[in-house]
Chains A and B, each alone.
Chain A
Amino acid sequence: MKIISKIKEIASMFIKQDLSYSGFTWASMAVNILGIIVTYYIWMAVYGSKTEMHGMSKNQMITYIILSGVLLSGVQWMLNLYISQLIQSGGIAMELLRPIDFQLSLFSARLGGFVSYTVIQCIPVLIVSSLIFGISPPKSVICALLFVISLLMAIGITFFIEFCVGLIAFYTNSTWGLQHMKDAILFFSTGAVIPLAFFPGWLKSIIVILPFKDIVYTPVSIYMGIVTGEQAIKAMFFQLIWLILFFFISRVFFKFAIKKITVQGG
């Protein structure tokens, strides 16, 4: 009897959790899945009767589409919107008065929200997409482990990029405009909908230099074994460099931005 009541309790807790998914969360997941579906059909039509392109089989492509689609929305946190709105409303003053470093408190919030925001939104999308289309497991255990580390770094890079984008609101009045710009850049430069191999030569060499590929392409390609062994480590090394670089850029930018309000008075 005790066991049954315990199960009831846990189940109802899960259901309550479900019911408490905000409309926004449902919509985000729906939009995510829709995006994956559209991309799927496009690529299937592109492949046509071919079984492989640029070294990727149809099945691999499917895995790529699902994983990168989930990741693109999963690594983001809309931090830039939060900061922009804080600046526009003036609430930023309150935040800056707190005895804790602004960026640090945001980062802890991000860590704290990892399960409730990232995981909760990504897992259903992953499951549904896999059920519809089928996803392959990581190439090996090592790939899986490296994937996790690469993913965490990707989240970190995105965090700092969003932080900087958010700070731009100190200089313009725009919140959604910047969000759209960020979306646009991240959309194809992260390799989210197109694996890097498909980019024409000259464009590829540009994308490869930019940090954005490390947000989606790098972790996904490690998972899938597109890059392995030494190449993988090398890719992750550069990912780390970008992570550290963006950390410093965000700190410096922050210092500048703060000066602006303390001088202008807000």
Chain B
Amino acid sequence: MGKKRITSFIIFGISIIIFGIGFGHNLWSKIIEPQKTTERPIIISDIAPLKPLEEERVWFYHQKHTTELEASGCKVCHSYDTQKSRFDFRYPKNRPEKDRRDLIETYHNSCIGCHRERLSKGLSTGPTACGECHKPVLYQEWIKPVVFHYGLHYQHEKATDKKCELCHHIYDEKEKKLIYKQGTESSCRDCHRQSDEGNRNSFRKVAHSDCINCHLEKKEKKQKGGPTTCEGCHLDLKLPSIQEIAEIPRPDRKQPKTTNIKVDGAGMPAVFFDHQRHEMSSLTCRTCHHETLQACKNCHTSEGSPEGGGISLESAFHEKNSSLSCEGCHERQKAQEKCSGCHLGTRTQMEGRQQSCIVCHTGPIKELPPIPPLGAPEGIMPDNVKAEITINILEREYEPAKFPHLQIIKKLTEISNEDPLARQFHRQPTTICMGCHHHSPVEPKSSPPTCGNCHKATPDFDDLGKPRLMAAYHLQCLGCHQKMNLEQNCTVCHAKKTSVKPLISEKQKKSK
């Protein structure tokens, strides 16, 4: 008995050790939670003079430092100008930009010096050895770019009592100082570019110093202010939907509510442009105006000029592939789920632009004439619009498909009527029909050809581009269902038959 008990104890002990070695790593090792704000590193990017780097780049835990050193404030690391009461957020303090060696020394002395000092005082501290900072980090992107949309702009307008000069300025070449002039406001990025240019700091530098300094000032005065942490702007700010910020008043820069765009020497009639309406469907002015917030024709001349990037005024309005042009933006709206069924389907292949010119080129008018919503299809073609179509011509494996013709037209008409842009372009009630009846124009009071009129059951070997009937049905119906994210199961349209008649009967097989 005794021996048995000892052996069983030994076995038990060994198994515990094995278990411990095997799973211990997961059980007892520290698991890093990337959700923890202090564990999110930022890249030290202001190191242009140090490139190429000799060592592994340093990932800096800014949030960890700010929480630990909250009592001492930003002054510990960043220099403070008492006269202007502003922080200079460059690190380290008084950094020498010219000499590479000097800059490296200053970085090391500032970081490691502080860490050593805190270590000697017995306070919480950071690494002091090379490899502890210069090590690769599995970085997960968490910094989102800040979109300064109309909502945020309005919030700042209210907080500063419409003192535009607090942020907006231009540089006076004669006086050699920054002045504010009403009506010249543009995006910060207009002057402050990707990197420093002469006495103009980069956008990244000015955005951080101006925003945070102002926010800190408010915080010091115990007033309600903006965020002062990285996360506050770069993570927690949620982008509003177009509907949400449609109500918010737009920044006033003396822009016209409506205008007639007339180009001298152009053959086409003027375009009536509802500026206010278009402000409602964008997040920032930059959506259309680039950074300059200038009128299009100021840079884009009719011939194309270097200021306008060589792009003529005509293409600035009509270029389909640009997100800034009129037609490009309108084109992108077609990719919306609700529109894509018709617009990215069979129709795209034969879509003509010629008829849509006059929708925009109205000639000089004061107001757009109201466009009546598309009427109910029964009202226009009472005899021809079938409510339901049973497709049984190819029936074999599946029961006949019941196609809710009228219901689909009604739904598409409803979608079209809801969308202000679609309403402008879908003028005829039969426009909706064209989504499926793609080749032949649909006239009121006459039936369009059915699918089977053109698409035959057998393939046409002389015209391979035309799908045969079965494929035409599936490509059209399923294509739309795929793009509009609707049901795509076979049995949604046609139920499966329990017994299927084989194509070649048993008798025929035997005779063979």
Q: Is B a genuine binding partner of A?
A: no
